[in-house]
Amino acid sequence: MRIAVYAFDGITMFHLAAPLLVFAEVRRLGPAPDWQTRLWSDRAGSVCTAEGYPIGEVTGPETVDWADIVIVPSWPMPPRPIGAELKRQLRQAHARGAVIAGLCLGAFAVADAGLLDGRAAVTHWEAMPLLAERCPGTEVDSSVLYIDHDDVLTSAGTASAIDACLHLVRKHLGSAIATRVARYLVVAPHREGGQAQYIERPLARPATDTAIAEVLEWALTRLDEPLAVDRLADRARMSRRSFVRHFRQATGTTPARWILTRRLQEARALLETTDWSIDAVASACGFGSSATFRQNFTSAFATSPTAYRRQFASRPQPLVPRRT
């Protein structure tokens, strides 16, 4: 996988470093030594960051033709229109099949290239009204961390760029590698959610409500059991209505969606690391039947459990389900 990250004078060091750190760690871990990342700009040489530090060894526009993934990790604020040459490069890269990613304010560059027309997109929350105004043909979604259309990806502000990059790792190398990268970088493992476009919603915010946090820990050890809202509310010693309200405040989602996401997370890990049958995985993760499991899995990830295992399975381990 060849990744080109756009650098420009005035870019912040964090935005430039986020994709470089994630993809460098993939290479360091060893599962994908062919993953290569290069900085590129309008001309080869160096750029100066917003903090005043020079960044050297920046390649020129020819790197765009080399890349499988082209990332614009940020953009100046207030966002200025991109130049004609950058617009041409992004369009040509997209036309030949490269993935184009606009992280944070980089979504403006992708939009200016015409790659978000008729699509949903996300950017930093502060700039969302401006993106909607400048690109009326784009649906600006304020409730997601990133949106992946397979050929074009955008992410919300700052730290969500790491989520988006981890998503690309998971998409191409599987959840085990993405989790190892996240653990090394000391960030939350890749947050789940969405449908075939892989729209990720903020499901995994740390719960500040002590009662809710306890219920989350308790539920994670019982994913194979029925976990209806009433049972969770009883565990928290709250009424159903109060529990749902506190749960949404603490996690940003509903109890049912949170449980489904965690079950799908567990299922992916089991598909990657065990040789259990689909029925056994479905049972261990609390799905009522293998048919229900297949339906939910395919809806979430646009692939079947069997196909996912075929692509991402590592060395199976003869594990035993946690609970009987």
Residue type for 170, please?
R
CA atoms within 13 A on the CB side of 32: 21
Distance, in Å, from the CA atom of 160 to the CA atom of 172, rounded to the nearest integer, reads: 19
- Residue carrying structure tokens 């790659």: 115
Name the DSSP letter for residue 99.
Answer: E
pLDDT at site 175: 80
**DSSP codes of every residue in 37-54:** EEEE-SSSEEEE-TTS-E
Beta carbons of 182 and 18 less than 8 angstroms apart: no
- Residue carrying structure tokens 């809202």: 229
Domains in the chain: ranges and CATH: 2-185 (3.40.50.880), 205-324 (1.10.10.60)
Distance, in Å, from the CA atom of 13 to the CA atom of 147, rounded to the nearest integer, reads: 23
* pTM of the predicted protein model: 0.67
pLDDT at site 320: 39
CA distances from 261 to 17, 60, 162, 218, 266 (A): 29, 42, 20, 16, 9
Distance, in Å, from the CA atom of 15 to the CA atom of 250, rounded to the nearest integer, reads: 28
Sign of CA dihedral 295, 240, 199, 284: negative
* Phi–psi pair at 266, nearest 5 degrees: -60, -40
The one-digit pLDDT tens for each residue of the chain (324 residues) are 999 999 999 999 999 999 999 999 998 887 777 899 999 999 999 999 999 999 999 999 999 999 999 999 999 988 889 999 999 999 999 999 999 999 999 999 999 999 999 999 999 988 999 999 999 999 998 778 899 999 999 998 888 899 999 999 988 888 888 888 888 887 765 454 332 223 333 334 444 468 888 999 899 999 999 999 999 999 999 999 999 999 988 877 899 999 999 999 899 889 988 899 999 999 999 999 999 999 999 988 888 999 888 877 764 433 334 443
What are the tokens at 182? 């996240």
Question: Which residues are 285's β-sheet partners?
Answer: none
CA distances from 242 to 39, 188, 247, 303 (A): 50, 28, 8, 37
Distance, in Å, from the CA atom of 115 to the CA atom of 90, rounded to the nearest integer, reads: 9
Find the helix or strand (DSSP H, E) in which 296 lies: helix 290-301
Sign of CA dihedral 246, 248, 254, 259: negative
What are the tokens at 158? 């700052």
